[in-house]
Structure 1
Amino acid sequence: MKKVLNKRIKLVTPILILVIMACLSISSIPDYSNKNKMQALEAFKEDMSLLANFNNSNIKFKDKLLKAFQAKSVAARKVDDIEVIPGGNSIGVRLSSEGVLVVGHSDVMVNNEKKESPAKFAGVEIGDLIIKVNGEKIEKSKDLIDKVKNSKSNKLELDIVRDGMNVKKEIKLIEEKDEGYKIGLWVRDSTAGVGTMTFYDEKSGKFGALGHPVTDGETNEPFAIREGELLKSSIISVKKGEKGLPGELRGIFQEEDSPLGKIQKNTQCGIFGEGNKNACKFNNTKPMHVAKRDEINIGKASIITTVDENEPKEYEIELVKLFEQNEPGPKSMIIKITDEELLAKTGGIVQGMSGSPIIQNGKIIGAVTHVLINKPDVGYGIYIDWMLEDVGLIK
Structure 2
Amino acid sequence: MKKKILSVISLITAPILILVLMTTINIINIPNIIYTNKDIAVSSMIPRGSTLSRIKDDQNKYQIKLLGVIPVKSLEVQKVKDLELYPGGNTIGVRVSTQGVLVVGYSEIEINNQKQESPGKLGGIELGDTILKINGEEVQNCQDLINIIKGCNESKISVEVLRDNENLIKEVELKKEGNGEYKLGLWIRDSTAGVGTMTFIDKESKKFGALGHPITDCDTNQPFLIKHGDILQSSIINLRRGEKGSPGELQGIFTNENEVNGKIKTNTQSGIFGTVKDVNILKNNSKPMKVGFRNEITEGKAKIITTIDEKGPKEYDIEIVKLLDQETPGPKSMVIKVTDPVLLEKTGGIVQGMSGSPIIQNEKIVGAVTHVLINKPDTGYGIYIEWMLKDAEIIK
3-state SS, counterpart of residue 255 of structure 1: strand
| Of 308-317 and 148-157, the range deviating more from structure 2 | 148-157
1:362 and 2:359 are equivalent in the alignment: no
Q: SS where residue 259 of structure 1 aligns?
A: strand
Q: Is the 8 A contact 2:45 2:295 kept in 1?
A: no
Q: Which has the higher helix share?
A: 1
Offset at residue 30 of structure 1 (A) = 9.6
Q: Separation in 1 of the partners of 2:88 and 2:175?
A: 51
8 A Cα contact 1:63 1:322, kept in partner: no
Residue 246 of structure 2 corresponds to: 245
Aligned to 2:224: 223
How many Å separate the matches in 2 of 1:288 and 1:202? 11
- Structure 1 segments unaligned to the other structure (5+ residues): 1-15, 35-61
Q: Provide the rounded CA distance (Å) in 2 between the counterparts of 1:112 and 1:335.
A: 56
3-state SS, counterpart of residue 124 of structure 1: coil
Query: Do 1:81 and 1:289's aligned partners in 2 also have CA atoms closer than 8 Å?
Result: yes
Shift of 1:332: 0.7
3-state SS in 2 of match to 1:341: helix
Partner residue, 1:330: 331
1:26 aligns with 2:23: yes
- Report the alpha carbon displacement of residue 174 of structure 1 after superposing the two structures with TM: 1.0
Deviations 1:87-125 (A, max 9, x none): 000011111001000001100011211011111111111
Quote the residue 1:161 is aligned against.
Answer: 162
- Counterpart of 1:145 in 2: which secondary structure? helix
SS of the residue corresponding to residue 123 of structure 1 reads: coil
Distance, in Å, in 1 between the alignment partners of 2:352 and 2:323 is: 22
SS at 1:148 equivalent: helix
Q: What does the per-residue CA deviation read over 1:320-369, in whole Å, with 9 as the maximum and x for residues that have no partner?
A: 00112221111111000000100111111111000000000100000001
Secondary structure, counterpart of 1:273 in structure 2 = strand
Letter in 2 for 1:332: S
Q: Taking structure 2 as the reference length, what is the TM-score of the superposition?
A: 0.83
Contact 1:246 1:373 in 2 (8 A): yes
The structural deviation recorded for 1:70 is: 9.8
Question: For 2:77, what is the secondary structure of its paired residue?
Answer: coil
CA distance in 2, matches of 1:296, 1:321: 10
Which residue is equivalent to 2:121?
Answer: 120
TM-score by length of 1: 0.83
Please give the secondary structure, in 2, of the residue aligned with 1:256. Answer: strand
Equivalent residues in 2 for 1:102-117, closer than 5 Å: 102-117=103-118
Question: In the alignment, is the contact (CA less than 8 A) between 2:240 and 2:250 conserved in 1?
Answer: yes
Deviations 1:126-150 (A, max 9, x none): 0111001110111100000011112
Per-residue deviation at 1:271? 0.2
> CA separation in 2, counterparts of 1:319 and 1:137?
47
The answer as to whether partners of 1:353 and 1:368 remain within 8 angstroms in 2 is yes
The 3 A distance-change label for structure 1 pair 365 and 63 is same
Which secondary structure state, in structure 1, belongs to the residue aligned with residue 148 of structure 2?
helix
* Change beyond 3 A, Cα 1:30–1:184: farther
2:141 is equivalent to residue 152 of structure 1: no
Contact persistence 1:212–1:330 (CA under 8 A): yes
Q: Which amino acid aligns with 1:108?
A: I
Q: 1:215 Cα deviation (Å)?
A: 0.7
Identity of aligned residues (%): 56
Is 1:129–1:161's contact at 8 Å kept on the other side of the alignment? yes
Paired amino acid for 1:144: L
Q: Distance in 1 between matches of 2:75 and 2:241?
A: 37
The alpha-carbon deviation at position 173 of structure 1 amounts to 1.1
Structure 2 equivalent of residue 199 of structure 1: 200
Change (3 A) 1:120 1:69: farther
User: Residue 207 of structure 2 aligns to which amino acid in structure 1?
Assistant: K
For residues 18 and 168 of structure 2, the distance between their equivalents in structure 1, rounded to whole angstroms, comes to 52
Structure 2: segments with no counterpart, 5+ residues: 1-12, 32-43, 54-61, 63-73
User: How far off its partner does 1:292 sit?
Assistant: 2.3
Q: 1:297 corresponds to which residue?
A: 298
1:26 deviates by 3.1
Offset, 1:69: 7.9
Q: What's the CA shift string for 1:212-256, capped at 9, x where partnerless?
A: 111111111111000000111111111111111111110001111
Task: Return the alpha-carbon distance in structure 2 between the equivalents of residues 322 and 143 of structure 1.
Answer: 47
Q: Is the 8 A contact 1:118 1:174 kept in 2?
A: yes
**Deviation of residue 282 (structure 1)?**
2.8
Separation in structure 1 between the aligned mates of residue 370 and residue 173 of structure 2, nearest angstrom: 43
Secondary structure, counterpart of 1:77 in structure 2: strand
Cα 1:193/1:335, change in 2 over 3 Å: same
> Is the contact made by 1:330 and 1:381 (CA closer than 8 Å) also made in structure 2?
yes
Superimposed CA distance per residue, residues 132-172 of structure 1 (whole angstroms, 9 cap, x where no aligned partner):
11101111000000111121222221111111111111221
Residues 69 and 311 of structure 1, relative CA distance in 2, 3 Å threshold: farther
Alignment RMSD: 2.6
Number of residue pairs matched by the alignment: 352
| Cα separation, 2, equivalents of 1:379 and 1:27 | 28
1:1-395 to 2 correspondences below 5 Å: 23=20, 26=23, 65=47, 76-277=77-278, 279-395=280-396
In the alignment, the residues of structure 1 paired with residue 47 and residue 339 of structure 2 have an alpha-carbon distance, to the nearest angstrom, of 27
Most deviating of 153-162 and 306-315: 153-162
Work out whether residues 154 and 173 of structure 1, in 8 Å CA contact, stay in contact via their aligned partners in 2: yes
Q: Which has the higher contact order (CA 8 A, sep 6+)?
A: 1
How far residue 33 of structure 1 moved from its aligned partner, in angstroms, is 6.5
Instruction: Please state how far the C-alpha of 1:28 moved relative to its aligned partner.
Output: 8.0
- Residue type of the alignment partner of 1:26: T
Q: Is this contact kept in 2: 1:92–1:233, CA < 8 A?
A: yes
Tell me if the contact between 1:370 and 1:379 (Cα under 8 Å) persists in the aligned partners: yes
